[in-house]
Amino acid sequence: MAEHNETGSQGEDLAVAYLEAKGYTILATNWRSGRNELDIVVQQGDTIVFVEVKTRTSSFFGEPFHAVSREKQRRTIVAANAFMEKNGVMLEARFDIISIVMHEDRHRLDHLEEAYYPLA
């Protein structure tokens, strides 16, 4: 596995553990709809939350969440709509980003709730 794929996978594992510790119910990880992917889908009460995870080994070029472009947001929203339709989900939806900077023996995780909204 390429190093950046391994870093991303480790970041997603950290994000899942963080969300579980916060009481979220994990519904899916790495869920695909065509070419679009949802990193993590969780439920918190009456809300379904679609979580994009961005992991980097350094913040030298900016925080990882800055890498979630408007195009990436659009693709995530398309996949979220497909997930809700396929699974008959009738809950309020939210889009979060978990940003992780990994160091050799530690990491920093930032959870941005309501990071973006679908455009009408």
Domain ranges of the chain: 3-116
Residue 4 pLDDT exceeds 70: no
What architecture does CATH give domain 3-116?
3-Layer(aba) Sandwich (3.40)
Where residue 72 falls among pLDDT bands split at 50, 70, 90? very high
Percent of the chain with pLDDT over 70: 91
Residue 89 pLDDT exceeds 70: yes
The torsion angle over the Cα atoms of residues 90, 68, 65 and 114, rounded to 10 degrees, is -30
Strand ranges (DSSP E) for the chain? 25-33, 36-44, 47-56, 92-102, 107-116
State the CB neighbour count (10 A cutoff) for residue 20: 12
Where residue 65 falls among pLDDT bands split at 50, 70, 90? confident
d(CA 77, CA 36): 9
How many Å separate Cα 17 from the centre of its chain?
13
Region 95-111: what's the mean pLDDT? 92
Q: How many helices (H) and strands (E) does the chain have?
A: 2, 5
Mean of the per-residue pLDDT values of the chain: 90
Provide the β-strand partners of residue 92: 47
Where residue 7 falls among pLDDT bands split at 50, 70, 90? low
Residue 109 pLDDT exceeds 70: yes
> pLDDT value at position 21?
98
